[in-house]
Amino acid sequence: MPGKLTIRVDQDKCQGHARCKSLAPELFELDEFGNAHEIGDGAVPAGLEDKAWLARSNCPEIAIEITEQ
């Protein structure tokens, strides 16, 4: 069984490309400046793991961290 994933957007790195929001709207939200944040505590619901990895691998600023428990 794969472990549970947690995502976090590094606010020093995010520049608001919004690629994560487009690929995984269930996991990311944008603030008034268009910068991305993980929704809630960043816990990735079961079934959305692939979307989390996809968002990470499309972030040009490498701003998305994923931890696996």
Partner 1 sequence: MSDPVSTMPGHPPVTDWLHDFDHTDPRWTENPFPIWDELRAQSPVVHTERFLGCYLPTTYQAVKEIAYDTEHFSSRRVLVRDERPEVKRNAAPPITSDPPEHKPAKQLLLPPFTPDAMKKLEPRVRAICNELIDGFLADGKCDAAAQYTKYIPVRAIAHMLGIPEADSDRFITWIHQILELGIKDESILIQAVQEMTAYFADHIERRKQHPTDDLISTLMNARDKDGQPLEDAHVLGSLRLLLVAGIDTTWSAIGASLWHLARTPSDRARLIAEPGLMPVAIEEFLRAYSPVTMAREVIGETTVSGCPVKPGNMVLLSFPAANRDPAVFPDADKVVIDRKENRHVAFGLGIHRCVGSNLARMEMTVAIEEWLKRIPDFRLDPAGKVKWSEGTVRGPRYLPFLFGDEN
Q: Are 28 and 38 in contact (CB under 8 A)?
A: yes
- The answer to the question of residue 40 lying near partner 1 (CB under 8 A) is no
* Binder of partner 1 out of 6, 21, 37, 66 (CB under 8 A): 21
Asked if 36 contacts 21 with a C-beta cutoff of 8 angstroms, the reply is: yes
Map tokens 């990735």 to a residue: 44
Q: Which is nearer to partner 1, 17 or 43 (CB)?
A: 17
Nearest by Cα to 36 from 46, 26, 28: 28
Q: Binding string, 48-67, against partner 1, x = CB under 8 A?
A: ------x--xxxxxx-----
Q: Where along the sequence are the contacts to partner 1 (CB under 8 A)?
A: 15-19, 21-23, 30, 32-34, 54, 57-62
